Structure formats: structure tokens, C-alpha cells
Amino acid sequence: DIQMTQSPSSVSASVGDRVNITCRASQGISRWLAWYQQKPGKAPKLLIYAASALQSGVPSRFSGSGSVTDFTLTISSLQPEDFATYYCQQANSFPYTFGQGTKLEIK
């Protein structure tokens, strides 16, 4: 199975900050990577697919980059509603696997 490792596991930031979350795959996955946001008690929400494509309706402050094994989710200017847990997910091969999550907290 492909292991997905996110860093950091948690991060504290302030409104207006720029935040980067990284995701590393244990083997090459081309650009078959998605990013999700999850708030407590809610289902995950798709933000980015195919490494850098913005899902419809997602604010443009969210962006994705990377390929093969190293990927980054960037939030350019944090808003209060962005404090949540973020997950990456590979779709290169079965079983699809997720990273362990990055909890973004208010500083």
C-alpha cells in the first residue's frame, strides 16, 4: 500500500497568515492527489483534486502543487472558517489511502 505522510501534524496560525501543509507519498503517484478539509462532526469536503485543480466553489486562497511524491496545500491568507483538519489522499492505486491529517488551529 502507498503510505501518505503529512507534515506538520498540527499547526497554529493567525487570521491572515499563509500556511503550507505538505504530503509525501511512499512511492510515485504522478498527480493523483486530492486534498480535503474536515470540521468537527462534519464530513470531509473536497478542496483540490489532481494535485492542483480547485474544486468548484472552493475559495481561490486554497491552492495545491506538486507531483510524483511531494505535494503542498497552501492557504494564502487564513480566514476564521479555515481552522479545521486537512487530509491528503492518493488515487494512484488501490487501496486509496489518506494522510494522517493536519490540524490547523488558531494561534
Partner 1 sequence: EVQLVESGGGLVHPGGSLRLSCVASGFAFSSYWMNWVRQSPGKGLEWVANIKRDGSDKDYVDSVKGRFTISRDNAKNSLYLQMNSLRAEDTAVYYCASGELDFDFWGQGTLVTVSS
Should residue 97 be labelled a site residue for partner 1 when binding is judged by CB under 8 A? yes
Measure the CA–CA gap between 24 and 10, rounded to whole angstroms: 16
CA distances from 104 to 2, 19, 26 (A): 24, 9, 24
Q: Judged by CB, which is closer to partner 1: 32, or 62?
A: 32
Residues in contact with partner 1, shown as a per-residue x/- string from 45 to 84 under the rule CB under 8 A: xx--xx----x-----------------------------
Task: Provide the Cα torsion 21, 8, 34, 31; round to 10°.
Answer: 80
Which residues of this chain interact with partner 1, rule CB under 8 A?
1, 32, 34, 36, 38, 42-46, 49-50, 55, 87, 89, 91, 94-101
